[in-house]
């Protein structure tokens, strides 16, 4: 078996989960919704009088859907500020005429909400403790706002475990595009064959890692069948603790 010097991780749903059930609740069109829009709307109302909560929520949600549609076309990242531009346009607002503080206020509020509902995936702490000093560690994450990723890691107490934190909004490309993985290699001074990538998404994490010549470990605690037609992972993990055994066997 190949010996690895470096372990790269996906972040969300691999090391950290966002428990969206803990997002603030709000009543929208007669139904209860948990969304960060509940917390950031007061800032919108203060700076843009006349925009209702219902209208803002609908535009905010649509901006995510539109960004995902565009990302799926070519894996280019749509950064958070650009996505907010979709939201403003949906509301019929001219971004040039909006208060300069609005986007910063929305991004800060959304980031705070996500950081509060972040929690470690089972086995994360013990695994990172064991990996420390044995392997170089990095994060390669699809996310549209790097400060949120860094805040989540910092508040989880694990930011300093990683020699590189590479986020798609800084690179301009999302997994499975090769560019984001290569950015991590360059940052860490490593090559693909010495790295093992760990992630939960077959079409993004496994396919992306295999596409640049890395070994891939698929985190699959639900025991889901691997989708046909994709490069198969080198390892399948029922949970994060299983990674230690694999690395001990390849040492």
Question: pLDDT tens across 129-183, in order?
Answer: 999 999 999 999 999 999 999 999 999 999 999 999 999 999 999 999 999 999 9
Calculate what percentage of the chain has a pLDDT beyond 90: 92
pLDDT (0 to 100) of residue 1: 61
Q: What is the pLDDT of residues 181-195, one digit of tens each?
A: 999 999 999 999 999
> What local confidence, expressed as pLDDT, does residue 169 receive?
97
> What is the pairing mode between strands 118-120 and 195-199?
unpaired
Cβ proximity of 20 and 117 under 8 Å: yes
Q: Is residue 190 within 8 Å of 215, Cβ to Cβ?
A: no
- Domains of the chain, by residue range, sit at 6-17+119-250, 20-116
230 three-class SS: coil
Task: Give the pLDDT confidence of 208-247 residue by residue, as tens digits.
Answer: 999 999 999 999 999 999 999 999 999 999 999 999 999 9
2 pLDDT exceeds 80? no
Please state which CATH class domain 6-17+119-250 belongs to.
Answer: alpha beta
40 and 225 in contact (C-beta within 8 Å)? Answer: no
């Amino acid at each position: 078996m190949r010996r690895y010097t470096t372990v790269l991780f996906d972040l969300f749903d691999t090391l950290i989960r966002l428990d969206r059930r803990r997002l603030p609740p709000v009543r929208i069109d007669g139904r209860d919704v948990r969304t960060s829009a509940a917390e950031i709307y007061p800032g919108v109302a203060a700076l843009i009088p006349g925009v209702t909560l219902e209208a803002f929520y609908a535009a905010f949600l649509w901006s995510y859907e539109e960004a995902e549609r565009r990302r799926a076309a070519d894996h280019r990242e749509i950064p958070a500020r650009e996505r907010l531009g979709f939201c403003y346009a949906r509301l019929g607002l001219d971004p040039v005429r909006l208060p300069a503080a609005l986007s910063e206020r929305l991004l800060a509020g959304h980031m705070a909400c996500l950081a509060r509902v972040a929690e470690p995936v089972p086995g994360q702490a013990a695994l990172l403790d064991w990996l420390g000093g044995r392997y170089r560690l990095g994060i390669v994450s699809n996310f549209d706002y790097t400060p949120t990723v860094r805040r989540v890691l910092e508040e989880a107490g694990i930011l300093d475990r990683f020699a590189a934190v590479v986020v798609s909004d800084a690179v301009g490309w999302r997994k499975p595009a090769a560019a984001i993985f290569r950015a991590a290699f360059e940052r860490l001074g490593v090559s693909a064959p010495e790295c093992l990538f760990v992630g939960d998404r077959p079409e993004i994490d496994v396919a992306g890692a295999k596409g640049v010549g890395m070994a891939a470990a698929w985190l699959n605690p639900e025991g889901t069948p691997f989708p046909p037609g994709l490069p198969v992972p080198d390892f399948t993990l029922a949970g994060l603790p299983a990674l230690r055994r694999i690395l001990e066997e390849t040492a």
